[in-house]
Every structure is written in C-alpha cells, then in structure tokens.
Amino acid sequence: MTNKHLIALDLDGTLLTDDKKITSRTKKVIRTAREEGHIVMIATGRPYRSSEMYYRELELDTPIVNFNGAFIHHPNNDKWGIFHSPLDLRVTKEIIEALDSFSFHNIIAEIRDDVYLHYHDEKLIEIFQLDKPNVTSGDLLRFLPDAPTSMLIHTDEVHLQKIREHLSSVHAEVVDHRSWTAPWHVIEIIKSGMNKAVGLKRACDYYQIPQERVIAFGDEDNDLEMLEFAGKGIAMGNGINHVKTIANDVTLTNEEDGVAEYLNEYLNLKAL
C-alpha cells in the first residue's frame, strides 16, 4: 500500500470515553484501518502500566509513547530499542527541596513503572495503583533511587501558579511542566524537550512514513506538539480551545466516537 498512514491516538479524552472505555465502533474502525495497511499507535501522558490494557485490547503491534515522550518502547519487539529520557536527579532533588517553601499535598516521582510518594496517601495510591506498580512512600530526598521519568506535584489550585513560576524561573532550561485539568490540581514535570512528537518522529523514521501522512488525535495541551507535527492534526470536539486553534480539523467528542467517525470518512474505510 503506497499511501499508508501513521495514526497516533491520545488516550484520555480522545480514544477513551469519559468512563475510560474504547467503544465497539471505535475498535471496528481501528481494526479496519489496520487491515487496510495503516499503522496505529498510542501516544499518551500515562505510564505504560496504565496504558498496556488498551494496547492489548486493540491488539497493536507498534511502538508506544508514554510519559508524553519521555519513555518510548515497542512492547512486542525488544530489538526496536528503549528510549528513556528521565529528569536529571540533581535537578529533581533541587525541586523537592524548594517545595518546602511552597504549599503542596504530595510529590509523586515515577521511574518507568515504579511509583515513589513523598507522603503515604491511600487515596493517591488507589488512583496510581491501577495496575499494581511498586509503590514506595517516604522522603524522596532519601528514598528516590534513580532519576525519575516524570514527577507530579499535587497542590491546591491557589498555589499551582506560584510553583509553576518557580519552576520556570529556576529550571526553564532543563524541565518542561504543565498542569492537569480539574479536578486534580497537579503539575507534571518531565525533561525539557520531551513531547509526544518526539515519539511520533521515531515511529515515522522506523516505518518510513512521511510527516504529511501522519494523522494525530488529541484534546489537551500535552497533544499540541504532536498535532503540529502531524500532517493532519485533529482536535477532539471536547478538546481545549488552544488545541482546536492549532489543529487542521476538529472532529466529534470522545463520547461521540470522534476518532472513529473521522478516520472512517477520511480514509474511506466504510467500516461504519
């Protein structure tokens, strides 16, 4: 097939419905696209442990982008390579020390699929233990064994901006940070320069697919680079305004099978 496309899918708010499911219609369209030679991959801010079930459910055989590009690997092919770009450990510890001057609830450091909590918190463990990672609680300055892939700071809405201003003024060259949307007031920190487009570029090189034949779907600010990289960057109907502004097209919401509807029509799949 000469015009095969690389299709990159964000999970939350994009591929998944609000109750974190993939609908049968969406599965059917993705299966048809793959049968016709298109390549489908997941690009998410989630760690692998909480995206693997969707990878398996779709029966994918492609690389996966986790932690917004800070961890990229191919679950079914060890020879593909593992691309892990963690934060610098010294910088991580400087950030943790500086947080003493700010108000926050907790710090969560993730080293690939292991989770380290600054303070023991059953509710957070429940949220992060979707798939039973190894969870360790204790002073991160003492217990963090290695450079984390990503770090999350859980705070209150009123303190979020102050902490982000500190990160920008002190660590702008070495870290990128963004905040999650409500109800969680969380600042997510990864190594500077990491984003989903980094993973898409690796996949394009591997499959020898030009950028103009990349279709990427997303809804949040961590999808911006990926949508700009793609020949067709598609915003979900439920996406934030900034994503819709930079996108080439806007599809229906994640509750209306936006991904399936767009792919079915754009690739003329006749699956629905």
Active site residues: 10
Burial code (b: 16+ CB inside 10 Å, e: under 16) for 248-264 equals eebbebbebbbbbbbbb
In degrees and rounded to multiples of 5, residue 62 shows phi and psi of -140, 165
- Paired sense of beta strands 186-191 and 175-179, if any: antiparallel
Cα–Cα distance between 71 and 89 in angstroms, integer? Answer: 16
Rg for the chain, CA atoms, rounded: 19
The count of residues in the chain is 272
**Other C-beta atoms within 10 Å of 184: how many?**
11
Cα–Cα distance between 242 and 6 in angstroms, integer? Answer: 23
